[in-house]
Chain A
Amino acid sequence: GNSVTQMEGPVTLSEEAFLTINCTYTATGYPSLFWYVQYPGEGLQLLLKATKADDKGSNKGFEATYRKETTSFHLEKGSVQVSDSAVYFCALSGYPSRDDKIIFGKGTRLHILP
C-alpha cells in the first residue's frame, strides 16, 4: 500500500542554518504530496503541497519539489528561525481523487537554537 518515509529526528540546528528534511514515498498512481507542521500544543497545519510531478510547493520560506523519478518530496529552507521549531510531517493522498485519505510519515522534530 501507500506509505511515506521521512528522516528520523530530532534535528537540531542553529538559527540561520540551512534545513533539509528528507521524505520519500511509495504510492500507486499519481498522489498529491504535502508537508504539515505541528507547533507545540497546536494542531496540524498545512505548510505546502504539490499535486503533480515537478511541482514546487512553497510557503513561509519553505519549499519542496515533487520528484517522481526519485519518489521524493524533501523539505528545504534556506535560513531557519527559532520560530520554525516544530514537528514536520510529510504526507500523501490520492486527492483530488476519491481516495483522499492522508497517509502521514512519522514526523521529524526540529529544534532551532538561537
Chain B
Amino acid sequence: EPEVTQTPSHQVTQMGQEVILRCVPISNHLYFYWYRQILGQKVEFLVSFYNNEISEKSEIFDDQFSVERPDGSNFTLKIRSTKLEDSAMYFCASRGTAGQPQHFGDGTRLSIL
C-alpha cells in the first residue's frame, strides 16, 4: 500500500537555527498537510496546501513557518529560527480527491536544544 514518507525520523537542532522537514506524499495525492504533536499533548493542525498555495493555516503557523512543494514529489516544512517550544513530533499527511481520507507519515521528531 502506498505510504507517506517523512525524513529525517529525528532532527536535533540548536535554537535559532533553520530546519527543513521533508515529506514525500502519496504520488497521486493533491492535498497536503502538516500537523504537530508536542510531547504528551494532542495532535494540532498547522497548515493545508493545495494547487501550490496554502489553503488554510492555524494560529501556530506564524511567519517563522513556511511550506513548499519544490518539485512533483516533495512537500517541505521550514522553520526559519527555531525556538525551544518548536520541539515536537511533526506529521505530514496527504489525500487524493474528494471522498478520500488523509494518510499520515510516521512523523519527524524535532528536538530543539
Contact = CB atoms under 8 A, between A and B. Distances in A.
User: A and B: real partners?
Assistant: yes
Interface string B33-46: 10100000111110
Instruction: List the 8 closest A-B pairs by CB distance, nearest first.
Output: A43-B106, A44-B104, A104-B43, A101-B45, A106-B42, A96-B98, A104-B42, A43-B104
Interface in A40-62: 42-46, 49
A74 to B, nearest CB: 18
Interface of B: 6, 31, 33, 35, 41-45, 48, 55-56, 58, 91, 93, 95, 98-99, 101-107
Interface string A6-48: 0000000000000000000000000000101000001111100
Interface residues of A, number: 22
Interface of A: 34, 36, 42-46, 49, 89, 93, 95-96, 98-107
Pick from B6, B56, B102 the residue with the most CB of A within 10 Å: B102
Nearest to B6: A43
A46 B45 contact: no
Contacts, number: 54
A28 to B, nearest CB: 16
Nearest to A44: B104
Contacts of B102: 46, 93, 95, 100, 102
Contact of A106 (B41, B95, B98, B105): B41
Contacts of A36: 104
A34 B100 CA distance: 13
A45 to B, nearest CB: 7
